[in-house]
Amino acid sequence: MLNQDTIREATRLTRAGQLAEATALLQRVLRGPRDPDATSHATERLLLGREPLTIDAKGNDVEEADSAHLARARSAPPPGLRPLFDRAKDGSWLGMRGVKRTPATKSDILPESAKYIEGAFSNAAGSRAYKLFIPSGYEGQPLPLVVMLHGCTQSPDDFAAGTRMNFIAEEQTCFVVYPAQRSDANPSKCWNWFRTADQQRGGGEPSLIAGITRQVMRDYSVDSKRVYVAGLSAGGAAAAIMGETYNDLYAAVGIHSGLACGAATDMPSAFSAMRQGGGLRNLVSDNQPPLPAIIFHGDSDTTVHPNNGAQVLEQILGTTRTEKTVYRSQIPRGHGYTRTTHTDANNREILEHWNIHGAGHAWSGGNPAGSYTDPQGPDATREMLRFFLRHSLP
């Protein structure tokens, strides 16, 4: 079992770039060096999302090696990591079952004639850069805005390429903004969803994400009643926090492979929540309706346990009574899925939960040009935007 001393030491080694030493430590305290999966998963949890990056066409995890390790490991695997690595055809040491992923190109990120610009926002909590997608149909009229929060190790460009949100937003004529987490805020560029200081309105990372949202709303003509927030993994957990702390700013939330707001309050509880689900708080008052939400989670996710998707749903619903309808379907030559909808007393569909059978920790229906994507799944991007545009603030 991992105790707090082990976690602290492994965290210190990881932040110092000593991944081999951190892995060797975890090997000793888990199931031993003969169980590479246990070590791999523990290392992934330690990095809070630095797991295999892409799902290939057969549904297998695809891991792209850290560039520093790749540079020093052309002829041999890093010391202490031999059980976790297989030699690739080009002689380099990539991840188990791994292939190299080529960087996304401009055509993977942006439709023709649309714009994609850089920006930055600062407040007392710090500063964050962002990328803003402006559809070609924008001529000054108020448009919906979608805030997209990337997962660990990702960037706005990577997330845009993998989700193809810009292309669907071009069809629907919406703005999309991609805040970028800083590596000095988290070594793996994860949003710090597990820290109490970053789970509150008016401070920490929620204030930065909300500040970026409002800055775009000031600089462009945005329909203030149709602003939405979505994310993947750590970004999905951050989106859940934004939906809870700024439900007067966002009309709906999309959470893919994420966790409920307050599921963890520190690193040890984050490991526990990712492994089996976190503690729940009732976030819905008797006189406040639930924030509309659409939730995606693969039932074979070994990085963020599928229990978390159900817990997000349970937390948002609280004591609200809904009529539940279950649909089951299959993507041709892809994953089957169960889609559960919840309709309130006003016959308004306020929640959708997509349980994707056989899917791992990856954006469903995504483009392999981006990381953490599974092209075999239902199109989470299209379904999210469809759900979002049905909802607006009162």
Q: pLDDT for 58-90, tens place per residue?
A: 434 333 333 333 333 333 333 332 222 222 232
Mean pLDDT of the chain: 81
Q: Residue 28, exposed/middle/buried by CB under 10 A (0-12, 13-18, 19+)?
A: exposed
Rounded to an integer, the average pLDDT of 362-378 is: 96
Token pair recorded at residue 385: 């935007």
For 170-181, what is each residue's pLDDT tens digit? 999 999 999 999
- Contact present, 209 and 232 (Cβ < 8 Å): no
For 108-139, what is each residue's pLDDT tens digit? 999 999 999 999 999 999 999 999 999 999 99
Higher-pLDDT residue of 166 and 18 is 166
How many Cα neighbours within 13 Å face the side chain of 330?
A: 3
> Is 326 in a helix, a strand, or coil?
strand
Task: Indicate whether 315 pLDDT > 50.
Answer: yes
Enter the pTM of the model: 0.78
**β-strand pairing of 143-149 with 222-232:** parallel
> Is 359 in a helix, a strand, or coil?
coil
Higher-pLDDT residue of 6 and 131 is 131
- What pLDDT is recorded for position 63? 38
For 230-268, what is each residue's pLDDT tens digit? 999 999 999 999 999 999 999 999 999 999 999 999 989
- What pLDDT is recorded for position 288? 74
Range with the lowest mean pLDDT among 30-44, 362-376, 378-392? 30-44
Which domains are assigned to the chain? 4-46+65-95 (no CATH), 107-388 (3.40.50.1820)
Confidence category of residue 209, pLDDT binned at 50, 70, 90: very high
> Is 86 in a helix, a strand, or coil?
strand
